[in-house]
Structure 1
């Protein structure tokens, strides 16, 4: 039987006040797998060892405070995708603006309602999942639709360019992408999984299919030609994959696009 924590999103909570840290962690633990950190350094250590889905951090902490932690992660290609909620006792408009300028996805004043924090977390995770699902099942949706900041955009643009550069190669694999992206295989896997809810091989397959959808829309090639151009071993394999991913056959998609043009 799978560990129940593997079925839950992982939330990292950082606060130097242990009572508040324990209170938040206890409140979230029924719905999420919770990691606790007393400061920014501990938070960074957790990120090196776990796949974190969302971070809740106090602003005022010794060493690396919440602002710096948020800024570092949003500037990092490895961690920029993680939604970040800042907690603060400061309630001035300027402090809210400052938090958002550091890249925070939400800003909550202390004292806060645990129900409100739960709602913010749920909303951020749900919105991220909706973005992923739209990308995965829409032939026209660009990979950039999953980018919520500049770091994610740069990562996805480079990754997409690499896949398209090698798209005719049936042997295109994760190792080549990891090498070209200057990331370890596990780090690349975690980043792609967090952004798209796909494995790297699944993302490669969908990128092939989306390129095929683009070529079908242009109506310059036959289906068997397109299947070869995007790296499928046979047209029948390509047709089955396209139908399964997008719920429509390549022929039907092409005809639908012709009617829309």
Structure 2
């Protein structure tokens, strides 16, 4: 996977420099001001934002605050670049929700390492959620806004989990978002498409039902919205790296111990 970074700076020399530093590793979107940055955010999936603070119009602090207060992209990490090296500017950066605050001039190598670490840490959380049968969706939340969004989304999916035809249009209507906006939000938060998120929520529900040992496997398959036992088995194996039968055996061993 190639991460997508939005760079916001009114200085063309800085945009060119950062493009040279990061262009071989990441897919880049460039914006000369905050207004252009917002248009890009409304149209593209962005994994990280690097913004200068001192810009005409919407400055970096204002842009960061707009991003972190908007449910559609508050999950995106923001790196602020500044020539200021004052205690107050650092405080202001933290108050608007910046994830990193880097002073100019900066080492290209240090910037690359900090960005890579930030993205890698987020990727580990996403992978952990997708591959862990009992992990709650809220583990991917990076703010209270994200947590409320994920709670609302997860509750709706679970309420309608037995419906094999549950799809993104229903989710978008429930979340009061357009289909493209919801897709970008879910994809960026989890690396999963809405269809995949619905699927993995079905499977996580199935693991809990299996552990209760009150239903047959065919009953569980229907309860979580699968019309085909073979498709259920295939997806269970794909996400959790064990078959439903192997999962049952592992639970029996745990209980025996």
TM range (shorter): over 0.9
Do residues 174 (structure 1) and 174 (structure 2) align?
no
TM-score (norm 1): 0.92
Q: Secondary structure at the match of 2:42?
A: helix
Give the whole-Å Cα distance in 2 for the aligned partners of 1:43 and 1:208: 36
Map of 1:221 onto structure 2: 215
How far has the Cα of 1:192 moved from its partner? Answer: 1.0
> Do 2:125 and 2:139's aligned partners in 1 also have CA atoms closer than 8 Å?
yes
> Do 2:153 and 2:171's aligned partners in 1 also have CA atoms closer than 8 Å?
yes
Map of 2:228 onto structure 1: 234
Deviating above 4 A after TM superposition, structure 1's stretches of 4 or more consecutive aligned residues are: none
Map of 1:202 onto structure 2: 196
Map of 2:13 onto structure 1: 19
Q: Secondary structure at the match of 2:29?
A: strand
Q: 2:146 aligns with which of 152, 173, 177?
A: 152
> Do 2:129 and 2:135's aligned partners in 1 also have CA atoms closer than 8 Å?
yes
Give the whole-Å Cα distance in 2 for the aligned partners of 1:258 and 1:59: 57
Q: 1:116 aligns with which of 106, 110, 114?
A: 110
Q: Secondary structure at the match of 1:49?
A: coil
Structure 1, unpaired ranges of 5+: 1-6
RMSD between aligned residues? 1.6
Give the whole-Å Cα distance in 2 for the aligned partners of 1:68 and 1:260: 53
TM-score (norm 2): 0.93
> Do 2:42 and 2:181's aligned partners in 1 also have CA atoms closer than 8 Å?
no
Structure 1 window deviating more from structure 2 (22-31 vs 81-90): it is 22-31
Map of 2:206 onto structure 1: 212
Superposed CA offset, 1:73-101 (max 9, x none): 11111111211101111222332232122
Map of 1:81 onto structure 2: 75
Give the whole-Å Cα distance in 1 for the aligned partners of 2:209 and 2:242: 15
Do residues 36 (structure 1) and 24 (structure 2) align?
no
Give the whole-Å Cα distance in 2 for the aligned partners of 1:219 and 1:90: 61
How far has the Cα of 1:69 moved from its partner? Answer: 0.7
Superposed CA offset, 1:58-77 (max 9, x none): 11211111111111111111
Do residues 53 (structure 1) and 47 (structure 2) align?
yes
Do residues 251 (structure 1) and 245 (structure 2) align?
yes
How far has the Cα of 1:49 moved from its partner? Answer: 2.4
How far has the Cα of 1:258 moved from its partner? Answer: 4.7
Structure 1 window deviating more from structure 2 (32-41 vs 152-161): it is 32-41
How far has the Cα of 1:22 moved from its partner? Answer: 2.0
